[in-house]
Amino acid sequence: MMGDGWCVISIGCLEANALWGEKQAVRTGHATTTLIERGGAKILVDPGLPGAALRAKLSERRGIGLRDITHVFLTSFQIDTVRGLGAFENATWVIGEMEREARGHELLMMAEQARNRDAEEVAVRAEEMIGLLEKCEDAPDRVVEGVDLFPLGGVSAGLCGLLLPEAGRTVVIAGDAVVSSAHAREGRVVEWANDIAGAKESLAEVMEIADAVVPGRDNYFAVRG
């Protein structure tokens, strides 16, 4: 990839994949991480691996380092999408406004309830996540030229993907709104979605408009053409 474009930096996975008959965690889940380059901006989407692993992946896939990333975009706010976020201190972190507000409220409640039952470790983890979330800015409708916000609620309250118009096709970076190519073929969404019906509507919307999809836990795949 030279100049403007995009590539998958790391292919994600679910901690338990119901399509494979898995009912409990059998691996560490992490999000698919994508790099978008537009007009000098380098946007890393969903840094789900630890920082050291992402440093190696960026070098392997694009020949760049952590400090070259100008923006980090989070499709949703969960440990599987933010595990390596702290490695990009020099970048601007952005997330959908509704996702930021909803997750902030959930984490505050989690920390308060954990402290009330003396679950200090849970409270500390929640407060660490709050600290990361407070550094995130609300994503504008157009993150940079040629990269547009695409609200895809259902899995979480404010999950947002990205639309990348290209010559002759539309690419959607979907986050967990589209879990994998297999989930898309079967019309399946994650079992832990906040709103199953809403999640299925978002999945259908992506599949209707996209020519290619970068899913939340799989490599990219073509929808048409």
Containing domain of residue 181, as a range?
A: 5-218
What is the per-residue pLDDT for 98?
A: 96
Tell me if 188 is assigned to some domain: yes
Tell me if 224 is assigned to some domain: no
Tell me if 75 is assigned to some domain: yes
Tell me if 213 is assigned to some domain: yes
For 207, counting Cβ atoms within 10 Å of its Cβ (0-12 exposed, 13-18 middle, 19+ buried), the class is middle
Tell me if 162 is assigned to some domain: yes
Cα pseudo-dihedral 200, 48, 98, 103, rounded to 10? 100
Helix axes 97-116, 120-134, angle to 10 degrees: 160
Among the listed residues 194, 154, 196, 195, the one whose alpha carbon sits nearest the alpha carbon of residue 175: 154
Tell me if 206 is assigned to some domain: yes
Tell me if 225 is assigned to some domain: no
Question: Considering the chain, what percentage of its residues have pLDDT values greater than 70?
Answer: 98
Quickly state the pLDDT bin for 52 (edges 50, 70, 90).
very high
What is the per-residue pLDDT for 160?
A: 98
CATH number for the domain including 158?
3.60.15.10
Checking if the pLDDT of 2 tops 70, the result is: no
Tell me how long the chain is. 225
What residue type is 209 in one-letter code? I
Tell me if 107 is assigned to some domain: yes
pTM above 0.85, yes or no: yes
Whole-number Å distance between alpha carbons of 222 and 225: 7
Residue range 196-216, pLDDT digits in tens:
999 999 999 999 999 999 999
What is the per-residue pLDDT for 1?
A: 41
Number of domains in the chain: 1
Residue range 104-157, pLDDT digits in tens:
999 999 888 888 888 888 889 989 999 999 999 999 999 999 999 999 999 999
